[in-house]
């Protein structure tokens, strides 16, 4: 069993790709050292819309990229992620197809922040997992309900942009080795368990992000209290169960009607 932060960044700024390329080796080294200090075996480096190969020695670096799709962010993690993508150019469907072609897992990142990835229009897209994000793990109950509805494994990642944030959320991975291919296989098989840190620094960071997101997204679930989120998750789970029961009853009724019709036809022919 390995502990891996599946969502982390080597730098605290966005854009400026040329400067980022020069900064990334240093950022990756510090990130890996902090991951090891927090007891992690590995960390997936998932910078926004580009991947730069790095080889830190303190912890295993899993290649990855966080792609800004037309409807939200998708993490692509595995042996051969795309080197660069244009923000908002690809749909979630196209990103998942591309990820799978390259032997990578496609993970829905922070589904309750700036995301419409898990919507009906993409119901047939074969995502590999959904994330509990380290910036707002208060949404955990909602993510669990969403994962049950979509039948997806749940992973966790810190979404760290500065090294001391790494490991505030991570994933237990049941794999024979800590290679990118083995990580992908474990995610797809559901041999993963999300974990959320509960140390003083983790709690302080979460409170800070809660205030920030409440201001930025006043009408979203991120502005709600933990109790309200849990209540919303229960309602969401109840609605999902009701839909399943309705579909089951409809299917049973249709099967019964077909059986009755078949028996009637048989009697007529006899």
CATH number, position 119 = 3.20.20.140
Contact in structure between 164 and 30 (CB atoms under 8 Å): no
**What's the rounded Cα separation, in Å, for the pair 111 and 117?**
7
Q: What is the rounded distance in angstroms from the CA atom of residue 183 to the CA atom of residue 17?
A: 28
- Between strands 192-196 and 42-45, the pairing is unpaired
Residue 227's pLDDT is 64
Q: Report the number of distinct structural domains present in the chain.
A: 2
- CA distances (Å), origin 13, targets 6, 23, 24, 105, 164: 19, 11, 11, 25, 15
Q: Which of 222, 161, 154 is nearest to 190 (CA)?
A: 154
| pLDDT for the residue 265 | 54
Q: How open is the CA angle 12-14-17, to the nearest 5 degrees?
A: 110
**Together in a domain, 267 and 161:** no
Angle subtended at Cα 166 by Cα 161 and Cα 168, rounded to the nearest 5 degrees: 115
SS3 15: coil
Inter-CA distances, 250 with 75, 242, 245, 246, 255, Å: 37, 12, 8, 6, 9
The reported pLDDT for the residue numbered 253 is 59
Q: Are residues 130 and 239 in the same domain?
A: no
Q: Do 177 and 218 belong together in one domain?
A: yes
| pLDDT value for 215 | 78
102-157 per-position pLDDT tens digit: 999 999 999 988 888 999 999 999 999 999 999 888 889 999 999 999 999 999 99
Domain end (from 224, 241, 261): 224
pTM for this entry: 0.80
pLDDT of residue 198: 80
Report the 10 Å Cβ neighbour count for 36.
19
What's the CA gap between 261 and 47, in Å, rounded?
59
pLDDT range class, residue 250, cuts 50, 70, 90? low
DSSP string, 100-132: HHTT-EEEE--TTSS---SSGGGTT----EEEE
Q: Kindly state whether residues 99 and 155 are assigned to the same domain.
A: yes
If we measure between CA atoms, which residue out of 142, 126, 169, 164 comes closest to residue 229? 142
Please tell me the predicted confidence (pLDDT) of residue 128.
98
Per residue in 17-73, pLDDT (tens digit) is 666 677 888 899 999 999 999 999 999 999 999 998 888 888 999 999 999 999 999
Confidence of residue 270 (pLDDT cuts 50, 70, 90): very low
At 254 the pLDDT is 60
Q: Which residues pair with 196 in a beta bridge?
A: 169
Same domain, 198 and 97: yes
Range of the domain at 9: 2-224
Statement to judge: residues 204 and 72 lie in one domain: yes
Alpha-carbon torsion angle 123, 125, 128, 133, nearest 10: -60
Which residues fall within 8 angstroms of residue 192, CB to CB, at 6 or more apart? Answer: 129, 153, 154, 155, 171, 172, 173, 174, 186
């Amino acid at each position: 069993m390995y502990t891996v932060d599946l969502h982390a960044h080597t730098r605290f700024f966005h854009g400026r790709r040329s400067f980022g390329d020069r900064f990334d080796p240093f950022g990756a080294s510090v990130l890996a050292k902090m991951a090891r200090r927090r007891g992690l075996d590995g960390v997936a480096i998932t910078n926004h819309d580009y991947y730069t190969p790095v080889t830190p020695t303190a912890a295993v670096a899993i290649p990855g990229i966080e792609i800004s799709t037309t409807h939200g962010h998708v993490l692509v993690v595995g042996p051969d992620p795309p080197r660069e993508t244009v923000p908002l150019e690809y749909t979630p469907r196209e990103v998942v197809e591309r990820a799978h072609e390259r032997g990578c897992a496609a993970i829905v990142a922070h589904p309750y922040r700036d995301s419409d990835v898990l919507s009906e229009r993409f119901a047939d897209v074969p995502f590999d997992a959904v994330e509990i994000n380290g910036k707002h793990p208060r949404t955990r109950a909602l993510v669990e309900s969403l994962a049950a509805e979509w039948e997806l494994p749940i992973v966790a990642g810190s979404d760290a942009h500065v090294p001391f944030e790494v490991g505030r959320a991570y994933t237990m991975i049941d794999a024979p080795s800590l290679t990118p291919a083995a990580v992908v296989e474990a995610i797809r098989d559901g041999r993963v368990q999300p974990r959320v840190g509960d140390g003083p620094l983790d709690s302080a960071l979460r409170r800070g992000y809660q205030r920030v997101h409440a201001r930025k997204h006043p009408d979203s679930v991120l502005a709600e209290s933990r109790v309200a989120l849990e209540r919303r998750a229960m309602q969401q789970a109840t609605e999902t169960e009701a839909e399943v029961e309705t579909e089951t009853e409809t299917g049973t009724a249709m099967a019964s009607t077909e059986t009755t019709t078949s028996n009637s036809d048989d009697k007529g022919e006899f």
